[in-house]
A and B are shown apart, each in its own frame.
Chain A
Amino acid sequence: MANLSFDVLDAAPTGRRPRSRSFWHAVGRRLARDPMTLTCAAILSLILFAAIFAPFVAPLDPYRTNITHRLLAVGDRHYWLGTDELGRDLLSRLIYGGRMSLFMGFVPVFLATVIGAALGIVAGYAGGALNMAIMRLIDVFYAFPSVLLAVAISGVLGAGLVNSLVSLTLVFVPPLARVAESVTTQIRSQDYVEAARATGATGWRIVIGHVLSNVAGPILIYASSLISVSIIIASGLSFLGLGVVPPEAEWGLMLNTLRQSIYIAPLNAVLPGIMIFITSMCSNLISDGLRSAMDVKV
């Protein structure tokens, strides 16, 4: 259906050379006309760029403590965004903090997408007992509220980067597997899959040629909407002391330690939260933009 409407769009007389009719090309063109998504992508790229090149971008050492310069106010001549409770430069820590927060936003979602899509496609394509076994297992994990499951797993395994990664990945696998399974089940009974099978295509060929290309859209959209959730829960885990461990610069952990200073330096204490808010808002709006550009309903 989606492809049909793009064909009509492309066929409209524009007086120019006819463009590629490929789906992704049309998506790209729609995105290029969406100022909101472009702005968000620019902001997110800026944060990502600053995080990757933090050693060159950050004005000061984010780990250098200075007990005489504790909790300097925002707007200081030397420390532009003030300092934290140990006198470390907040701006540099916010820039460095983006590394961990963005990592925790993208990596668990990526891992869960790979695992979830694989499980969902296998379950949907195989059907029968295997589907039953996989999907009921997924249902059990789906039966936990997401924050609770993340906190429970991290709480039991202990704080640390790898444990947070494991718990967040486990939280996101069930919903992604469900999306992959439902799309695969729909596709399996389509005439063209039947035709491919009749011409002697192997299971692998059908999965790679037909199933994967159809599952990719909905999975991508759904996964992109999970990135902000992942950023918020990961920072939340650090905020509880279950994520990365001090003295690591991470927005959630910074909120946790600065919380004690909320009465003395309220503006400093809320700064890391603003970064989390901006990042998660941008990734949500990009996800919405992608969804309408790809015309996918999840």
Chain B
Amino acid sequence: MLTYFLRRVLYTIPIAIGVSLVCFALIHLAPGDPLSAVMPEGASSETIASLRSFYGFDRPLAIQYLTWLTHVVTGDFGYSIMTRRAVLGEIGPAVFNSLMLGVAAVLIGFTVGLLLGLIAGYAAGSARDRVVTSLAVAGVSVPHYWLGMVLIVIFAVNLGVLPATGMGAGGSTNFAFDWESLKYLVLPAISLSVIPAGIIARTVRGTVAEVLKQDFIQTLYAKGLSPRRICLHVAKNAAPTVLAIIGLQLAQLLGGSILVETVFSWPGTGFLLNTAIFTRDLPVLQGTILVLAMFFVFINLIVDLIQSAFDPRIKRN
């Protein structure tokens, strides 16, 4: 058990280094000088040179990478070219906002997906199964940013019951856990939840149908166990797969919420990333991508560890 844990944790290190390399390489893939966005028209060559050395762009790439990496591990992500504020200070609140949106979406997606998946899995092959499966396919196929627009049309424009965009009245970004604030979370969270709901429903359906087909379930019936007790066995056997999918969905949502955040002007990482892209604020861009990717790596690690704790068969592979 412990060796597996250690091996899995150690394995994360080269991945994390690789991810940091990709994030570093990203800004060097960018066409043109990263400073061109802030450089005034016709800046003198001395100004350009001094700014280049200020941001460290004049040193060899390997040195730049190592310097950047040592700064990053100590929490220094550099300064935004646009706002001149520390990148970490910009990313922190954005990550919190995205995380809140992501957790809300996964909670909705989990509840709906689990319910639909159980209904379909227990009735595999029936008409009910086909309806639920079609719903799940629709959930996976819907462009969620478009769904966000449709929800705005229905609930904000026509019915006027929920706010269309933003995170609080008057553009406020202070989130309180009361209904006034939660109202702003409802539509983006629903838009973001359809894909995980579809994926979770399909996974739960498949896993439950698979478990129900196994011999030991027959044995349990033969032994006279009540359906409720059997359901517990099904849940225990389906849990590792379902758990893994839920963890991965949360991680995907954090990186994938950019479209929904743009539609709803939700001040999360996606919104920050979008602004950074169009202002060519490369330190913010790089920092946000790095933080999100590291989060993804970290959640993958946690999911694997939890899954192996649940299911000892995994460790043998």
Contact = CB atoms under 8 A, between A and B. Distances in A.
Interface string A142-159: 011111110111011110
Given A143-B19, A242-B277, A284 B140 contact: yes
A239 B15 CA distance: 31
Most buried by B among A137, A151, A152, A272: A152
A276 B143 contact: yes
Contact of A145 (B14, B26, B254, B263): B254
A140 B278 CA distance: 26
A281 B273 CA distance: 29
B258 A284 contact: no
Contacts of A285: 137
A288 B27 CA distance: 39
Contacts of A236: 143, 145, 259
B22 interface: yes
A147 B256 contact: yes
Interface residues of B, number: 47
Interface stretch (A85-93, A122-130, A195-203, A259-267): A259-267
Contacts, number: 134
Interface string A258-298: 01001100100110110011001100110010000000000
A144 B296 contact: yes
A47 interface: no
A151 B256 CA distance: 9
A259 B149 contact: yes
Nearest to B278: A241
Nearest to B147: A273
A116 to B, nearest CB: 18
B274 A158 contact: no
Given A152-B26, A152-B285, A157-B30, A145 B251 contact: yes
Contacts of A242: 277
A139 B297 CA distance: 10
Nearest to A252: B143
Contact of A156 (B150, B251, B278, B285): B285
Nearest to A263: B157
B29 interface: yes
Contacts of B42: none
Contacts of B29: 153, 156-157
Contact of B262 (A139, A228, A240, A273): A240
B92 interface: no
A288 B202 CA distance: 12
A143 B256 contact: no
Interface in B133-184: 137-138, 140-143, 145-147, 149-150, 152-153, 157-158
Contacts of A155: 273, 276-277, 285
Interface string B4-28: 0000000000110011011000110
Interface of B: 14-15, 18-19, 21-22, 26-27, 29-31, 137-138, 140-143, 145-147, 149-150, 152-153, 157-158, 251-252, 254-256, 258-259, 262-263, 273-274, 276-278, 285, 289, 292-293, 296-297, 300
5 contacts: A140-B19, A145-B251, A241-B278, A269-B149, A276-B143
